[in-house]
Amino acid sequence: MWRIGVQRSIIVYSNSRTLVTASKNVDISGIFPPIVTPFDTDENIRYDYLEENIRRWNSIPFKGYAVHGSNGEFAYLSKDERVEILKHVKKFATDDKVIIAGSGCESTRDTIQLSNEMASAGADALLVITPCFYKSGMSNPALLQHYTKVADNSPVPIILYSVPANTGIDLSVEVICKLAEHPNIIGVKESGGDVAKIGLMVHKTKQHDFSVLAGSGGFFLSARIIAPNAAVTRMFNVPGLKKSMEWFGYYGGPTRSPLQPLTSDQEKLVKASFTENGFL
């Protein structure tokens, strides 16, 4: 990840013209593991396992945690569940951890509402994924308007989230650079994997307090983890991640339907990629 420390006092206007003042000191340099949501076999959230995982992660010098990224299966959670999980993460994490929470919804209105709820629940910054259901309508002007309104109405800083493999929307460098000028937008999580694009974003936003975060291990720390990252992220995604967590003593557990667990053959493929590269 590229480091930018953010220290600013911002004034944000809501749609109701109520003045909201936020003074944040948020440094998002470092590593933020995108944590999974632990379910039991009935697909209920297991907060005890969440606590167990986080207490182990607390001993590792992570900068903080990313809650409700793609690996958290946020698309299969209700808004109330998303807020409640964040509250528990905040409770279990040590005080030095920076908590980034996904608050993106399909509509701008819902994203603003959830962003405010997430901020009240303890999020230090918010990760806002691109809306994608009406993909053909997600033009550059539409995305600029969406993120600007969300940032205008959020009491904590916003991080843009581009993950085209899941959304089909590749947030353009043009839009990202324009949004980097906003005083309440502090970075982008780029999960597209285009290293040239990442470099261009870094170059074009260097005059702003703006961070570019690598959204996948394959282009963040690629030297040793290309094969395991490909097996987990590209081939089998969350089911592969949850299974691999169990090999290292964490609780992965089931996914929420309609995601399916790995077959025995798929599990062998993932395990082989870890074994052959010296991780198991």
C-alpha distances in Å from residue 178, one per residue of 28, 81, 128: 20, 33, 16
SS3 for 36? coil
For 61, the token pair is: 């010098």
- 186 closest CA partner among 141, 124, 139: 124
- 83 closest CA partner among 109, 35, 116: 116
The residue ranges of the chain whose pLDDT is under 70 are 1-25, 217-223
Residue of 189, 197, 242, 243 marked catalytic: 189
The phi, psi pair for 116, rounded to 5°, reads: -65, -35
3-class SS string, 104-169: CCCCHHHHHHHHHHHHHCCCCEEEEECCCCCHHHCCHHHHHHHHHHHHHCCCCCEEEEECHHHHCC
Q: What is the predicted pLDDT for the residue at 61?
A: 94
Q: What is the predicted pLDDT for the residue at 137?
A: 97
Cα distance between residue 148 and residue 132, in whole Å: 17
**Bridge-based pairing state of the strands 158-162 and 125-129:** parallel
Label residue 17 left, alpha or beta by phi (over 0 means left) and psi (-120 to 50 means alpha): left
Could you tell me the domains of the chain? 5-220 (3.20.20.70), 221-280 (no CATH)
Q: What is the predicted pLDDT for the residue at 191?
A: 87
Contact criterion met (CB below 8 Å) for 34 and 66: yes
Cα distance between residue 86 and residue 103, in whole Å: 11
| C-alpha distance across the termini of the chain, in Å | 26
Active site residue 242: no
